[in-house]
A and B are shown apart, each in its own frame.
Chain A
């Protein structure tokens, strides 16, 4: 029997895999450490080794320029597509690539976001494969519904580079609806509000005896919980600057990254508590910042982002021809929907409390697993009918756009439009393929050009050119053109302006294969052991310093976690070391915070003297 097809949620901040078990239900696949989630972080350590996931995230603050976060925001984009704020978020050299897909320059090497995503995918698949004891080759990968053609193509390329067969790109909110409605108890009209780390989707669906039909979808492909963290971090930086911290220190990548991590902690703390401290210390730069935030302050800082999600929600409802009150249930997806202000906003708009029985972090992967099973021949009664989120058109004379496939058309979709020549004797027509809702081509996303040549010379207006747009089940576009009188034809798979050419993808696939998995694992093992050694060394020092002041119960817990790391480093399973380190990190956190506090107190007291 072939290995199962896995469902994978390739997220901006976190990724995970799931599959349908023998009980007919989808389950997240947990590694040896009990964790399903792999942080979507890649760190290019020295000596050519690469860390992915939790181990990479641990390096983010100490080595920000070689550690890549939120790479999903860069997929399928050129440098000019990034906002100023987004550009600041990446402490790396961003270089405009050849095909216009921007690249990151790290340790003198240029890497594409597709390669970085491929490393995350590979890690997720390897971990899951080890956990279920199968060699996984086929996957369903989720993408934000509102990703454009180029971003979806880039995700497909990442799968190929990772050496995987991507059976389907599945829209994230649609996947979530599958997990929600699988039990057959939730027929009706639902809204899926999906606010992830870096993307926002809203989909309106109708679920009816096993048929999941998307009525409308909308969103914002650069909006998410990341933005909350950044807004908090920027406010904290402004306060630090006002209290005398030199601006150049605040621009240090290490500080930017550290502040972001502190901001994220604050955000999480304030989902439960009404007040929490934002703490940021960098002893090397002499920065020490601690301030109590109220939940109200946090909500004021993130308010503009909440407001930005409302427009797409209203447009989706309008396209579905529905009033907000006509929706039977609202399903929340994505880590950012844990924030109480988000839930309140959604509840207010729809006039009902959102459905909260699903784990917003896992529901997308679970739905992807359901679709994976479907593509293996399971779930005969279940059927998913999805739509294309953005209109596709062609530029006409004067720079206007003729829509060929309107947004929210069910996929797979095809449409043909007729065109003719403008001048007598014209032998070629240039079709500029665009995506988006704006009236002028220059305001839409340019996807590429298709030139039909060799039209026999005829008077203007006589040739009859059929331009056919075809969107497949993955939501990807092919455009062809044919002159009917002469049967001259041209066909292009749109190579996105910001994408990778087929040759580039092939080269990257080759390179990835050459960096054989075994080498990769070996390098990872070495790096993790070095990591562990470092951590143990520092811990021993801290434990000794704390002496009898440390609570004996806490000391016992830390020592147990420490022994776990020592044991794991004797083995050869990188995942086990990674897990044990993570566990130790959690156990030792109170001690670390306490020693840092004490050091700071002593420093302050010293000053007073």
Chain B
């Protein structure tokens, strides 16, 4: 039988990549490498193993707290080295590889620079539960959101200037709440016990990951409300 796609509720998260230390120097020209994907000096593209995670691609440590200016700088360096337009006159294979790797780099950049997506991605890498598997939020959170929900719903009917101003203030509040939760998430990630090797059940780590999941669900909820307000205000 055929059915519409349904999100995988029980899909296991992908195997974690071993923390990667990129080769320090290009095998061809011996210049230092900023990323395992490409040598920006001699423009050699290295077919990357599929297991590279986004942190490895960008040559940064796998952690939640990142220097976003550094991430942006690395993105531009990688783009200059890898973008398919930089491979005019090279072989078809090389151009295709560049296209493929650039798509990975773009995906990585979109995730690493966005605090929500970065948290989601890191949680998955660390073997935490997916949103579909664990939908809970911290105790009391949803009750607290009731008022905001109602207010947004009411506002939809009459978007006068006063309501717009009120929504704008409310959105600022929701965002700062979200950012506070993301800070807690950042702390929780740095306090996370290392992954056991070989794997064995570890309740402390598992419950820490679940706690992050719940916080992240709350942050996602706040973000959703803020987006809803943005859509209303842009109407």
Contact = CB atoms under 8 A, between A and B. Distances in A.
Contact of B103 (A412, A422, A423, A428): A412
A12 B6 CA distance: 41
Contact of A414 (B2, B8, B84, B103): B103
A467 B5 contact: yes
Given A413-B106, A414-B103, A473-B84, A430 B11 contact: no
B106 A396 contact: no
A402 interface: yes
Interface in B101-144: 102-104, 106-107, 109-110
Contact of A470 (B10, B103, B230, B234): B103
Contact of A374 (B85, B100, B106): B85
A602 interface: no
Q: Which of B9, B106, B234 has the most CB of A within 10 A?
A: B106
B234 A421 contact: no
Interface string B188-203: 0000000000000000
B99 A421 contact: no
A431 B11 contact: no
Interface in A348-396: 371, 374-377, 383-385, 394-396
Interface in A402-438: 402, 406, 409-415, 417-423, 425-432
Interface string B73-113: 00010011001111011000000000110111011011000
A430 to B, nearest CB: 5
Contacts of A411: 103, 106
Q: Which of A211, A383, A385, A462 has the most CB of B within 10 A?
A: A385
A383 B83 contact: yes
Q: Which of A384, A395, A414, A431 has the most CB of B within 10 A?
A: A414
Q: Which of B8, B80, B83, B84 has the most CB of A within 10 A?
A: B8
Contacts of A412: 84, 99-100, 102-103, 106
A461 interface: yes
Contacts of B3: 397, 421-423, 426, 428-430
Given A384-B85, A396-B7, A423 B109 contact: no
Contacts of B104: 414
Contacts of B9: 420, 461
B68 to A, nearest CB: 12
A247 interface: no
A410 B4 contact: no
Contacts of B76: 208, 211
Contacts of A467: 5
B204 interface: no
Q: Which of B6, B7, B102 has the most CB of A within 10 A?
A: B6
A464 B6 CA distance: 11
Nearest to A416: B107
A315 B234 contact: yes
Contacts of A377: 88-89
Given A409-B106, A420-B11, A470-B103, A397 B6 contact: yes
Contacts of B10: 420, 461-462
Contacts of B22: none
Contacts of A428: 1-3
Q: Which of A406, A418, A462 has the most CB of B within 10 A?
A: A418
B47 interface: no
B128 to A, nearest CB: 15
Contacts of A422: 3-4, 6
Nearest to A411: B106
A475 to B, nearest CB: 12
Contacts of A487: none
B108 to A, nearest CB: 10
Contact of A410 (B2, B6, B100, B109): B109
A318 interface: yes
Interface string A460-478: 0110110100111100000
A394 B204 CA distance: 37
Nearest to B106: A410
Interface of A: 208, 211, 311, 314-315, 318, 371, 374-377, 383-385, 394-397, 402, 406, 409-415, 417-423, 425-432, 451, 461-462, 464-465, 467, 470-473
Contacts of B100: 412, 414
Contact of A418 (B11, B79, B99): B11
Contacts of B83: 383, 385
A211 B85 CA distance: 12
B16 interface: no
Contacts of A402: 5, 7
Nearest to A419: B5
A53 to B, nearest CB: 32
B19 interface: no
Contact of A318 (B80, B102, B230): B230
B7 A418 contact: yes
Interface pairs A-B: 4 shortest CB-CB: A420-B8, A377-B88, A414-B103, A410-B106
B12 interface: yes
27 contacts: A314-B234, A318-B234, A371-B85, A374-B85, A383-B80, A383-B85, A396-B4, A396-B7, A397-B6, A412-B106, A413-B103, A413-B107, A414-B100, A414-B106, A418-B7, A418-B8, A420-B10, A422-B4, A428-B1, A428-B2, A428-B3, A429-B5, A430-B5, A432-B4, A462-B10, A465-B5, A473-B84
Contacts of A420: 6-11
B96 to A, nearest CB: 10
A436 B29 CA distance: 46
A34 B228 CA distance: 53
Nearest to B230: A318
B106 A211 contact: no
Contacts of A425: 1
A432 B104 CA distance: 24
Given A314-B234, A414-B104, 8 more contacts: A383-B86, A397-B3, A412-B103, A413-B106, A414-B100, A420-B7, A465-B8, A473-B99
B79 A383 contact: yes
Nearest to B83: A383
Contacts of B8: 418-420, 461, 464-465
Contacts of B109: 410
A412 to B, nearest CB: 4
Nearest to B9: A461
Contacts of B86: 383
Nearest to B88: A377
Nearest to A388: B106
A406 B107 CA distance: 11
Nearest to B98: A412
Interface in B20-37: none
Contact of B88 (A375, A409, A417, A432): A375
Interface string B209-225: 00000000000000000
A411 B58 CA distance: 17
A133 to B, nearest CB: 24
Contact of B107 (A394, A396, A414): A414
A358 to B, nearest CB: 23
Nearest to A481: B5
A419 B6 contact: yes
A470 B9 CA distance: 24
A476 to B, nearest CB: 12
Q: Which of A208, A421, A423, A473 has the most CB of B within 10 A?
A: A473
